[in-house]
Structure 1
């Protein structure tokens, strides 16, 4: 049927709208991934981390909790590595391999959670210290300097002693004491971004502080925060192992640091039970090394001047 006179027919197919910004972000993400894959050491570190995280997530399937119940254990105490127990057993007869897999859950949980707390605090304080001026900037800079000067491990030990031992305590203690370095990096990048011409145009058009920080500063500092995050996770894993080794962790959970503490308390090192000491120690070193390799690879992607080094 023909349309009534005086009325125009509208086309049924509309041209799809192309989101240029989203397309550019996808293109840039692809370029970053290709540049990251060109760094062989960073790619190896990422693959190893993916395997470790996968083992930690599959711990209830690979090593059911019943295998760590001392009332159901049939293996002997302090047995050396064998086909039945590839990494031997501990003084209670538990499989060291099963403990290592379960310990990865706690160590990685603390590492990622504490790093998230540290990154949020460091990013917010760093952007505020670089954006605002006057007494606000002075107060924030003195706060950053205080946390940079005070030894983070000592402050974390004090906080853990006051709050009480536990996984949550370790997360809070590490997160609160390790954000100052990130804040200094974010502040430096914030000052660089706000010295550019398009920020002056935004001010001239009446942009607010919240608009400048949210639309311009935050997207510019996020790549540096991401690269620093991978390095901070490794430091958080070491800090968790140290605090657990000192007896400030959750005694009911197994982590790599608590395994080292149990090895010390039971005399595994002096008794010649090397497999109980070496396994968690190598796990800590390996995971921290992988996080470092990934962090350095991301730094080389973000900062092209580092690619030739």
Structure 2
């Protein structure tokens, strides 16, 4: 049974995958559903939702289309979240594999680096990094990944320490297989599934961090983001709550979808059995 089939047999996996599929489709189809610049003036300012068929979710204080902002915000959030999670996973896998497989002084030194990286909370590290280096999508992605790689590194190391003592790894050593070949052909494929399940959590954290940075004015001002939309609606929260509520709901639904997908993926991996 494939991983996808096992995932679709879990209620969490089905719901989470459906939410993420809708969000991904919204982000990809944003230029089709709402052509043009999402930050352009589209109509009268503070137009309430469902009063104009051309602007179904109304406009903000500057007359920008709220629906366009939500669609393009989905693209920004998912792109930053996935890119940051991928970067953190690659770095974490590399460090965890090196520490767990090499052992000894290398393991001790790398784990002290991991400990040091976890002293500062990830959001504060990203906040300081973006404030110093400057605001751009690559910088935001790197800043978020810089605060998220330690957990994958620790989990990878734990998996490698367990797997490297198994019989099939010992057999590979006996037949003279190169250590790098053992690491990448015998150990990594079996250590990877639990770490992949962790990646969904990193995506959710990255999306929230990007939204928080945008809320504080440290996001890319040339991109529509949910965090900046929430910040834009703060000053008119009583008279036009929808300006903050709608992007807030979009953010909450996205994080919920990622969480459910992570739960379903974990169950699917568990039902598929452990390492060979």
Verify same fold: TM over 0.5.
yes
* Counterpart for residue 218 of structure 1: 188
Task: Map 1:183-202 onto structure 2 (within 5 A).
Answer: 183-202=153-172
What secondary structure is seen at the aligned counterpart in 2 of 1:171?
Answer: helix
Whole-angstrom CA distance in 2 between matches of 1:119 and 1:234: 14
The range that moved more, 173-182 or 199-208, is 199-208
Whole-angstrom CA distance in 2 between matches of 1:305 and 1:54: 29
What secondary structure is seen at the aligned counterpart in 2 of 1:149?
Answer: coil
Whole-angstrom CA distance in 1 between matches of 2:116 and 2:152: 14
Answering whether residue 27 of structure 2 is matched by residue 59 of structure 1, we say no
Larger radius of gyration between Structure 1 and Structure 2? 1
- Stretches of structure 2 that go unaligned for 5 or more consecutive residues are none
Q: Pick the aligned partner of 2:66 from 68, 93, 96.
A: 96
Answering whether residue 47 of structure 2 is matched by residue 79 of structure 1, we say yes
The range that moved more, 248-257 or 82-91, is 82-91
Whole-angstrom CA distance in 2 between matches of 1:194 and 1:68: 53
Q: Number of aligned residue pairs: give it.
A: 271
- Stretches of structure 1 that go unaligned for 5 or more consecutive residues are 1-27
Q: Pick the aligned partner of 2:148 from 178, 184, 209.
A: 178
Answering whether residue 243 of structure 2 is matched by residue 273 of structure 1, we say no
1:149 shift after superposition: 2.3
The 4+ residue runs of structure 1 with deviation greater than 3 A are: none
1:67 shift after superposition: 6.1
Q: Structure 1 residues 96, 184: closer, same or farther in 2, change over 3 A? A: same
Q: Deviations over 1:194-246 (max 9, x none)?
A: 11011112122222220111111111122122211122111110011011111
- Of structures 1 and 2, the one scoring higher in RCO (CA 8 A, sep 6+) is 2
The range that moved more, 212-221 or 60-69, is 60-69
Whole-angstrom CA distance in 2 between matches of 1:163 and 1:67: 27
Answering whether residue 95 of structure 2 is matched by residue 125 of structure 1, we say yes
* Counterpart for residue 253 of structure 2: 286
What secondary structure is seen at the aligned counterpart in 1 of 2:107?
Answer: helix
1:305 shift after superposition: 11
Q: Pick the aligned partner of 2:13 from 26, 32, 42.
A: 42
Q: Deviations over 1:22-41 (max 9, x none)?
A: xxxxxx42xx2222111122
- 8 Å contact kept, 2:215–2:227: yes
> Could you say what the CA RMSD is over the residues aligned between the two structures, in angstroms?
1.7
* Counterpart for residue 268 of structure 2: 301
Whole-angstrom CA distance in 2 between matches of 1:181 and 1:66: 38
TM-score normalised over the length of structure 2: 0.93
